[in-house]
A and B are shown apart, each in its own frame.
Chain A
Amino acid sequence: SQTIHQWPATLVQPVGSPLSLECTVEGTSNPNLYWYRQAAGRGLQLLFYSVGIGQISSEVPQNLSASRPQDRQFILSSKKLLLSDSGFYLCAWSPGRLATNEKLFFGSGTQLSVL
C-alpha cells in the first residue's frame, strides 16, 4: 500500500534562518506531488506541484522554493524565513497515471512557527 511521510511534525525557526521540509512517498511510482500551506483556521493555498523529477510548477510568488530530486521525494526550502512563512505545511500526492487529479493523499503536516 502507498504511504506518505512528512517531517518534522513541528518546527520553530528564527527569522532569517533557512528551511528544509521533506516529503517522501512509498508504494507508488511517478506520483504527482504537492506542497500546500494552511494559515490558522483557513483553507489550503497551493504552493508548488510536480508531475515528474525536476519539474516544478510554482503557484504563488514567495520566499519559498521546491525541488524534486528523486521520483518520490519532494522538498520545500527557503534561504531566509520571514514571519509570514509561518503556517501548517502539507505535502500530498496523487496517482500520476491519470490525466486529471481525482484524489489527493495528504501527509500529516508540519507546523512551522517563525519567530
Chain B
Amino acid sequence: SQQGEEDPQALSIQEGENATMNCSYKTSINNLQWYRQNSGRGLVHLILIRSNEREKHSGRLRVTLDTSKKSSSLLITASRAADTASYFCATVALRGGFKTIFGAGTRLFVKA
C-alpha cells in the first residue's frame, strides 16, 4: 500500500511541552498533508508540504519532509490541553492525482 506507519501510536505529554509525531510512506509522493481529528468528528486539514519542500511552519506547527527516507514529522510546540486529538498524515502519490491515503494516526493527549 501507499501508506506506511505513524509513530508513536499514542503520546502523552504535559502542557507546555513539545509533541513530535512521525510518519513514513512507501511510494513517491506529490505532497504530504497533516490532519487533526477530535474524537468522533471529521478531520481538519492542518498543513501541506510538497515533495520539493523540506520544512514548513504554520503557527505552532512545524512539518519536515525527507523524501530520501520517505518520512515526515509534525512538531507541535508549547502544547496546550486543547491540542488533545488524533493526528494523521496523508499522502498523494506522484501520479495519484486525486487519491489521498491516510496513515493510522497518532493519538496525542496533553495534560493540563
Q: Which residues of A contact B (CB under 8 A)?
A: 6, 32, 34, 36, 41-46, 49, 51, 59, 88, 90, 92, 94, 99-109, 111
Contact = CB atoms under 8 A, between A and B. Distances in A.
Given A36-B102, A43-B104, A100 B41 contact: no
B96 to A, nearest CB: 8
Given A43-B88, A43-B105, A106 B42 contact: yes
Contact of A49 (B43, B44, B48, B98): B98
Nearest to B93: A100
Interface in B77-111: 88, 90, 92, 96-105, 107
Given A103-B33, A103-B45, A103-B48, A46 B100 contact: yes
Interface residues of B, number: 27
Nearest to A109: B42
B31 interface: yes
